[in-house]
Structure 1
């Protein structure tokens, strides 16, 4: 693991390694009751007998790390940026359900920002696909000196209303989330370790921030409704910090942004919508 962080791996994979493929599978996966309860407490989610939408991602973390820390993975972990997530929850997953989790990585793609790749995760129960996710990562090039790209119509800002909620994020939020999520990334757990990676203080974990948003956005929703969640991770949130959640309608769903206060910079953006039937 430490070797994959530091030793001898480049930030950009050589051309001959771009078509590399990985596959990992975990049969008989099951949520641990204590970790699930702690996750629900930390993220302020209800305990309703089913797995929270993003807790399934946390359960799949061992598969993700098995691939990213593999001796043949051509890019070092240090410096990877979690760019986006797209998740489909096809039905509720009972807290004690036995699951089969499968994760794959096919190809590394060169872009103008660096090299990107996607981890594809599929979760089955009794052979039925119940949850799936695409997590996109970027191994960035050195910062461009050409300035910001012009905004496109696709990224046009909606007419945001007033914040539906504001809250404080504690200095120890990263440590509290690390235990139940299994993600002990040093940039999140303490100011000391974050400074080793160039941050002045610890930064909030994007998946923690997203879970806190979902705790509010899914209030009153039928937990049996299949949903699609798209997330884009924007600016880091230094801890401790203050955030505001804003929403706007988008189709039959909700577009949302979590902004850092007082700057107003976006921390995460996303869309939550009912999943269209096949």
Structure 2
């Protein structure tokens, strides 16, 4: 008796039952078309990726060819002067506020500290007379605005019928022309007199004495700004190092947590399988 040997179909796509005995031209044609579509999609995807890389490379080359390094340094002197002036204003304003806080405790008239009278406003901040008046006016304006908004909401909740004649008259009314004011002339800004702290009066502990920085030169202010910039860069670098150092520990903790979850899952699967077998 002859042995019957079964021949397995080696194609990736299983051949249908009706085509196993005889070759089906329609099925073979469909297989060829499918393989062609898959190859075409792969080729298109690779071509688009290459085109994208080339576009990025062309943009990089164009930026390097048209680079203008002068635009970063053409206003360097102006920016340096502006930075020095801004830092000097910051130092002197901090010194004045420091002296005002001391004057509010020891001499509200400000004569001992070579400044004007000092007033402590409701928010607990020591201000000069003009600054206190401006602050009070601002607070009063804010209160009036809040009251006006509340009144407007009440009026909107109880509307009254409008008269058509008044509406038409208001629509035809021309806006009042504002009187043309003369151009403002630049004012001569007087240098602020330097305050001083009398003997026997000390600053609170741990507070920097800003008066010692009042007469700094431009070169000293530039050095101060450079030191502050280096300090900020060092802090950013330390923060990055701390974040990178913690990444390994976080990754280990994450893997450990996943391992525990996998163990719990396997345990639950075994328990569930045992319960199913016991039911049968």
Larger Rg over CA atoms: 2
TM normalised by structure 1 equals: 0.15
